[in-house]
Structure 1
Amino acid sequence: MAPAAIPPEVPSFPSRHVLEALLDPVREGLLLFTDDDTVLIANPAMQALLGVPADGEEGAASRLRPLLPPDALLQARQHGQWSGSLVMGDGVVTAQIYHHRDQGLGYFLGTFRRIEGHADYERELQQRHAELRQAYQRLNGAQEKLLQSEKMASIGQLAAGVAHEINNPIGYVHSNLGSLQEYLRSLFTVIEAYERALRAPDPKTLIPEIDDIRTRLDIDFISRDLPQLMAESREGIERVTRIVRDLKDFSYSGRDESWKLVDLHAGLESTINIIWNELKYKVQLHREFGQLPLVECLPSELNQVYMNLLLNAGHAIADRGTITVRTGVDGDQAWVEFEDDGGGISPELRQRIFDPFFTTKPVGSGTGLGLSISYSIINKHNGRIDLESTPGEGSKFRLVLPIKQPR
C-alpha cells in the first residue's frame, strides 16, 4: 500500500517584520490602530501624510483624529466603514476607514490616498457630485411615489364617502327627471287641446274641455313646481361637477406641477368638499378665514396636507365635536390653522407624531405616513408646522408658509 500523502505545512501568519516589508512600498497610507489610539501598523506613506518621524508612529492615530470629521469614527463603528475627503498637509486625501470588533477590542483600518494634481481632484469631485446627484434623484423619485401612494390611499379610504356625496344629488336629479317627464306629458296634453280649439269652427265651445284638462292635470301646480325642480336639478349637477373637479385636482400627481400663486381658501374649500362625508356626522365645522394674499405654493401638495390634518382632527373627536379652520397673515407669512376639541396628544407622543410609519390608530386603519408627508411638504415650502395640544382638551396645528418663496 502506498504511504499516505503528507499534507503540506500550513504557513504561519506573517510576522510584523514581513508586514512592514510588504507595506513599505505601498503608495497609499495605511494605518491600523485600536479604539484607544494604540497604533499597530503605520506604513511610511502614512507617516509622511501625517508628518510624523519614522520612529514616531505611536502618535499617528492621535494626530489623525483632529483631521477627521467629528462623526467619522462613530460612523465607522456603527456601520462598519466611513469614507470621505480630508485636507492633509498641502493636499487633499481620499480616506476610507473600516472598523472591526474582536473579543471586546475594536480595531480601525484606514487607507489614505493623496489626490495628485488639480485634474485628479476635479475628477474626484465630479465623480462624487454625480453619485450624489443620482442618489438625490432616486430619493426624490421615491418621495414623489410615496406622496402619490399616500394620496391615492387616502382617496381610496374616502371613496365610499365621495360616492355617497355624488349619489345624493344624482338620486334627486334622477327623481326630478321622472317628474319632469310627467310634467311634459301633461303640458303637451294641454297644448294639444289648445291646438284643437284653434282648428275648431268655434273655439269657445272647447274652453270648458281645456279648463277641465288644466284642472285634472293640475297645470297651475306644474307651473309653480317646474322652475324649482329645474333649479334643484341644476344645483345637483353642479355639485357632482364640483366634486369630480375637486377630486381630479386633489388626485393630480403634481409631477409637472409648477410653483404658482394660489388662493389658499380655494384649496381648503376643495378639500373640505371631498372629505365632508367623513366629518359631517360628528363634526361641526367653523370657518374663520382672514384676508389672504395669493401664496406661492404647490397647491396639489398643500391640499394633501389639509386633508391629512382635517381627517386627523375628525378621528381625534370621539362622538360629537368642533373643528375650526382659521387663516391669517403675519408679516410676510401666511398661516392656516386647524383646531379640534378632541382627545389631544400626550407630550410623549408629540415627540413622534411626525415620524414615518408612526400611528396611534388600530392596525389596518392608518399608514402612519400622513403627518410625516405633511411635514415634508411644508418643509419643501420653506414653512413650518406648529403644534399646541392639551390631553383631554384638543389640538391645534398651524401651517406657516412664506407668501413668496425665497429665490
Structure 2
Amino acid sequence: METKINQRTVALSEALETIKCNQNQLIKQEKLAFLGRLTAGFCHQFKNPLYQLKYGLATVNDMLNESQTKIKAQENQEEILDLVKSLQEPVGKLEMIFKLILLSPSQQKITFVEVSPNEFVEAILNSVIKYHSSPLLASQIKTCFSSELDQIKKIPHTLEIPLFNIIENALDVLDEAKKKKSNFVPNLAIKTEKKFNCWWVSIKDNGLGIDPSIENHLFEPFVTTKPETKCIGLGLYISQEVINKIGGEIIFKPLEKGVSFTLCIPCQKR
C-alpha cells in the first residue's frame, strides 16, 4: 500500500510539473500574440498619417523645385500654404497616437492644468473637430455647459485622452451612419453638470449603436467595433485606466438611438 501511494505521489508530481510547463508555454504564447497584435495595431494607426505627411511633403518639395521664377513662385504660394496647413491633420493624429503609446497610468505622475471644466471640454471638442476627416456641421453639435462649471479648477491633464477618444469615436460612428443611411441626420450632444463633489460630462450620439454582444467588454484591451485597419481597440481601455487613476468613472449606456458615455471627475481643490 505504501509503495502504491509513493508511486501515485510521484505520478501526480510529474503530472503537476507537466501542467506547469504547459501553463508557462501558454503564457509565453499569449504574451507573443499580445505583442504581435499590439505591434500590428500601432503599425495600422501610424500608416495613414505617415503616408499623408510623406506625400504632402513630397508635393510641396516638387512645387518649390518647379518655382524657378518669381512669377511661378507667386502662383504656387497659396497652393503650397494650403498643402502645409493640411499636414497639420496627420501631425495631430500622430501626436495623439504617441500619447496613447506613452501613457502608462500606473507610472504616470498626475499633472494639473488650471482652467474651467467647460473651457477644457470645449477645447477638446474643437481639437477633435479640427483633426477629424469628416467633422459635423456646427448645427449638428449641441453643447449644454453648466454655469456652475465656469469657474477655474484644477483638472488632470491626462483627462484630454478619454475626452478626445470618446468624442472622436462618436464622430466616427456618425460618419459611418451617414454613409449607410441616406436620410440620416447626425446629432452629437455634449453636456456638463456639477453633482456633489464631482463634475460630469456626457457625450451622446444618435449613431448606429454598439453590438450588445460586446457591450460588457468595451473597456477590455483590443475590443473595438471598427475594422482592424482603422483601430486597435486600446482607446477605451486606456481611457478607463486614466479615469480610474484620478478617482473617476466612465459610465456607458446604450440608447434607443445611439449611445451615451458619461465621465465622472472628482473636483480638485485649487
Q: Which TM-score bucket, shorter chain as reference?
A: 0.5 to 0.7
Question: Greater CA radius of gyration, 1 or 2?
Answer: 1
For 1:380, the equivalent position in structure 2 comes to: 245
1:157 has 2:16 as partner = no
How far the C-alpha of 1:389 sits from its partner, in A, is: 2.1
* Structure-2 change in CA distance of 1:357 and 1:168 (3 Å): closer
Q: Secondary structure at the match of 2:141?
A: strand
TM-score normalised by L of structure 2: 0.55
| Residue type at the aligned position of 1:259 | T
Q: Secondary structure at the match of 2:247?
A: coil
How far the C-alpha of 1:155 sits from its partner, in A, is: 7.4
Q: Secondary structure at the match of 1:322?
A: coil
Does the 8 Å contact 1:170/1:240 carry over to 2? no
Does the 8 Å contact 2:251/2:263 carry over to 1? yes
Q: Secondary structure at the match of 2:217?
A: coil
Deviations 1:204-260 (A, max 9, x none): xxxxxxxxxxxxxxxxxxxxxx5x965664454355357536633651414665412
- What are the equivalent positions in structure 2 for 1:341-356 lying under 5 Å apart? 341-345=206-210, 349-356=214-221
1:288 has 2:143 as partner = yes
Deviations 1:122-173 (A, max 9, x none): xxxxxxxxxxxxxxxxxxxx9xxx9xx9699457426315643785687478
| Residue type at the aligned position of 2:141 | H
Q: Distance in 1 between matches of 2:163 and 2:213?
A: 23
Q: Secondary structure at the match of 2:204?
A: strand
How far the C-alpha of 1:383 sits from its partner, in A, is: 1.7
For 2:91, the equivalent position in structure 1 comes to: 244
1:310 has 2:168 as partner = yes
| Equivalent in 52, 69, 74 of residue 181 of structure 1 | 69
Q: Secondary structure at the match of 1:387?
A: strand
For 1:338, the equivalent position in structure 2 comes to: 203
* Structure-2 change in CA distance of 1:231 and 1:342 (3 Å): same
How far the C-alpha of 1:403 sits from its partner, in A, is: 3.9
TM-score normalised by L of structure 1: 0.40
| Residue type at the aligned position of 1:311 | N
- Mind listing any 5+ residue stretches in structure 2 that lack a counterpart? 6-30, 115-119, 180-184
Higher helix share: 2
For 1:389, the equivalent position in structure 2 comes to: 254
**Higher relative contact order at CA 8 Å, sep ≥6: structure 1 or structure 2?**
2
- What are the equivalent positions in structure 2 for 1:54-203 lying under 5 Å apart? 153=41, 156-157=44-45, 159-161=47-49, 163-164=51-52, 167=55, 171=59, 175=63, 178=66, 181-183=69-71
For 2:113, the equivalent position in structure 1 comes to: 261
CA RMSD of aligned residues (A): 4.9
Q: How many residues align?
A: 220
How far the C-alpha of 1:181 sits from its partner, in A, is: 3.4
| Residue type at the aligned position of 1:328 | T
* Structure-2 change in CA distance of 1:372 and 1:260 (3 Å): same
Q: Percent identity?
A: 18
- What are the equivalent positions in structure 2 for 1:363-374 lying under 5 Å apart? 367-374=232-239
How far the C-alpha of 1:334 sits from its partner, in A, is: 3.9
Q: Distance in 1 between matches of 2:84 and 2:162?
A: 26
Q: Secondary structure at the match of 2:186?
A: strand
| Residue type at the aligned position of 2:165 | M
Does the 8 Å contact 1:246/1:270 carry over to 2? no
1:298 has 2:163 as partner = no
Q: Distance in 1 between matches of 2:254 and 2:77?
A: 48
